[in-house]
Chain A
Amino acid sequence: MKILTFKKGLYPPHHKSFSEAFETKVINPNVDDMLIYPMSQHIGTPCTPVVEVGDRVLVGQKIADSDAFLSSPIHATVSGTVDKFDTALLPTGLTSPAIYIRTDGLMEEDPGINHAYDYKSMTKDEILATIRGSGLVGLGGAGFPTHIKLNPPPGKKVDSIIVNAAECEPFLTTDHRVLLEETERILLGLMIMLSLFPGSKGYVGIETNKMDGIQAMEAMCQKEPFKGNISVCALDPKYPQGAEKQLIYAITGREVPSGGIPADIGCIVNNVDTVISVHRALYRGRPIMRKIVTITGGAAKNPGNYKIRMGMRYIDLLNQVGGFKEEPYKLIAGGPMMGNSMYTLDVPMTKLSQALLCLTKAEAANVEKELSCIRCGKCVSACPMYLMPLELNHFSLVNDLESFKKGGGMDCIECGSCSFTCPSKRHLIQSIRIKRREVLAERAKK
């Protein structure tokens, strides 16, 4: 088997054994639970509510939408009553306006959903409209609206559609589970995407720490209609293999130009969960309402993979699956390399939620004092964007924005490999991120 990868990067410990063998379990909210739907669950313009306080809503009913180009609607995931409009805390620490719905536990479904479409007889615009209508965004955590990603600017010829099942973040196992449990649906969803780009080929990128997933996928790819259209790519379990640009490079050998998008070089990358949701939207007419979330870490009592209703709070999910084994030191929404640490679990799960990581003190990195840079070059040999993090760190600290930009600071993908490997425990990515935000804010002003 040929194992593909990108240049540089590093091998953090995987820690996937906590939850990788646990079959996905469905978790529904309890009667009278409050579900919270933030209006910002995607990259783009936040939605505005299309329901009123006191309205009764049904499962799958659209509750918020926006006319803006870059946006995606939000649907109720339970039946119940709109309780209030208020703000809600997001895992990032920011707040967003949100719709609060109290569930009645009946799970009564909107008659408008569950319509099976025949995508082969639909036009491209109809398929994209259906995908938009289902509220689909990139479910790998970025949240870019899928209908826009699948409709690149004119002049871009897309020939490769890549399914991202690398799951390079330590601890996370949701991609692994869906590879095993929904093998055929992934490929059916990918076939829908391929139909939008005649002549394109599909690739499923999986790290070799999920050999059973690779085997299941390869067996399925031998069947019709997938044979010849889709191939499985075994990837080195190296971080950040699942980063979009690194994944494209590993599979196609092409580099996304600086400041460009994957479609510039003929590629579109979608998370494996997004691809399944495309299948669900077209074959079953269901908007995106569920998300698989890994609960893991040494402090979690019952690590596993749970299919939750979006809008549930982390605390509701945790209580339903047994809570903590021991008092956690750190709670993280997402993986340990790029996830957000949270000071409370009173935070709703959204389209972007992937995991709740309950780290013990021994597992989490100590907040250590920075030592002097010894120029060992470990950060340089880890940076998957071929940057010099030690220099960018210096430019950030002395506030030299010009040199920071010239040094490729804006090419940084914030994967955190530099900080992970630094023997002096310097705050490399942290300082780079601060300057990146400054430059982005400056650009937004213009």
Chain B
Amino acid sequence: MEPAKYIITSTPHIRSNHSVSGIMGLVAIALLPTAVASVAFFGLKALLVILITVASSIAFEALYQRLTGQEITIRDCSAAVTGLLLAFNLPSTVPLWLPIVGSFVAIVIAKQLFGGLGQNFINPALAGRAFLMAAYLPHMAGGFVPAFTGFNNLNIDVDIMTVATPLMAETPPDFLTLFLGNHAGVLGETSAILILLGGLFLIFKKVITPHVPLTFIATTFFLAWLLGDGWGFEFALFHILSGGLMLGAFFMATDYSSSPITPIGKIIMGIGCALITVLIRLYGGYPEGVSYAILLMNCCVPLIDKFTKSRKFGHSSRFKDLSKQI
């Protein structure tokens, strides 16, 4: 018999060209317009915050994996995406060491200590944000620069004029402003339309399904209309356009490892996130509830997954008997 010279493997012998780095790359592309907009609104300080957060996230991932003797997987781009999302949750006024602390919590504590990529039970970027909110509230929510005033404020020591986020406002702001984004806020929550654009891009590219964002936004709109006293329709519109809702719905609540797998589970996730968001915003102590809503729902994902398993083919009692099928 001739010597074996062809490789033997199990099936399948062809595979799709999907890859983890490809998916993460698409998410990064989807976030790019928002990143550019934040620099446009808040100046080069915003760029600095983004760069520091992304770089420190990648560095912490590499460092942790190096110290624990694991393979370094920063090339899958997931740490970079986490860094980008964390940066979008920070105002441009933060001191520059703050993003580094946030990256540590996000990458090392929320992600790597639980097993790394795919094993984290909560969204790492939101965990980082939640920690910073709890530990450094004055820096995180002490003040937001109005858009288009940050250009002269590269020096962080300069006392800057701060304004409240629109969610603290007494009257609804101009909707066009909210939609386009030139209002005060954290880096990534300002321009609803750019986030929407990025989110639709991800849906179009089949990176995410519309289940979570659609139910999240629709339910928030409906609940705000129902429960909000005073402004009605405008109030509801205001709630879905402002704060981190769009960013959370498209980019945070859809995080693979901390969101349900089945379509039904995703719908529950979206509705749950919306419910908690509205409760916090209308009746809670914080003006913004999206991040805590998502974190709380993250913790419910194992349960949701357990109870929303799809029926297996040929397992329904409906299909046991021929006469019932015909």
CB distance from A167 to the nearest CB of B (A): 16
Besides A339-B11, A365-B15, A371-B73, 18 new A-B residue pairs in contact (Cβ under 8 A), listed by A number: A12-B16, A159-B326, A245-B313, A254-B325, A258-B314, A265-B319, A337-B13, A339-B13, A367-B9, A372-B117, A374-B20, A375-B118, A380-B310, A388-B261, A388-B309, A411-B313, A423-B16, A423-B18
Given contacts A344-B1, A378-B18, A408-B312, contact A337 B12 (CB under 8 A): yes
Complex contacts, A117 vs chain B, CB 8 Å: none
* A159 CA to B323 CA, complexed, in Å: 12
A257 interface residue, CB < 8 Å from B?
yes
B152 interface residue, CB < 8 Å from A?
no
What are 9 inter-chain pairs, A to B, with CB distance below 8 A? A12-B16, A254-B322, A265-B325, A331-B6, A377-B261, A378-B18, A386-B311, A386-B313, A423-B23
Complex contacts, B162 vs chain A, CB 8 Å: none
Residue of B1, B11, B261 ringed by the most chain A CB atoms within 10 A: B11
Residue of B10, B19, B76, B78 ringed by the most chain A CB atoms within 10 A: B10
Complex contacts, A332 vs chain B, CB 8 Å: 13
The one of A328, A337, A338, A429 in contact with B6, judged by C-beta atoms closer than 8 angstroms, is A328
**A interface majority secondary structure:** loop
Residue of A nearest to B24 (CB): A374
B10 touches A384 (CB 8 A): no
B316 interface residue, CB < 8 Å from A?
yes
The one of B13, B261, B314, B320 in contact with A359, judged by C-beta atoms closer than 8 angstroms, is B13
Q: Which parts of A318-370 form the interface with B (CB within 8 Å)?
A: 328-332, 336-344, 346, 357, 359, 363-365, 367
A364 touches B14 (CB 8 A): yes
* A416 CA to B11 CA, complexed, in Å: 7
Contact flags (1/0) for B49-81 with A, using CB distance below 8 Å?
000000000000000000000000100101000
Contact flags (1/0) for B289-326 with A, using CB distance below 8 Å?
00000000000000000000111111110011010011
B177 interface residue, CB < 8 Å from A?
no
Q: How many residues of chain B are within 8 Å of chain A by beta carbon?
A: 44
* A170 CA to B314 CA, complexed, in Å: 26
Q: Which parts of B1-56 form the interface with A (CB within 8 Å)?
A: 1-2, 4-16, 18-20, 22-23
Residue of B nearest to A385 (CB): B313
B119 interface residue, CB < 8 Å from A?
yes
B257 touches A374 (CB 8 A): yes
A231 interface residue, CB < 8 Å from B?
no
Q: Which parts of B249-308 form the interface with A (CB within 8 Å)?
A: 256-257, 261-262
Complex contacts, A373 vs chain B, CB 8 Å: 118
A420 touches B12 (CB 8 A): yes
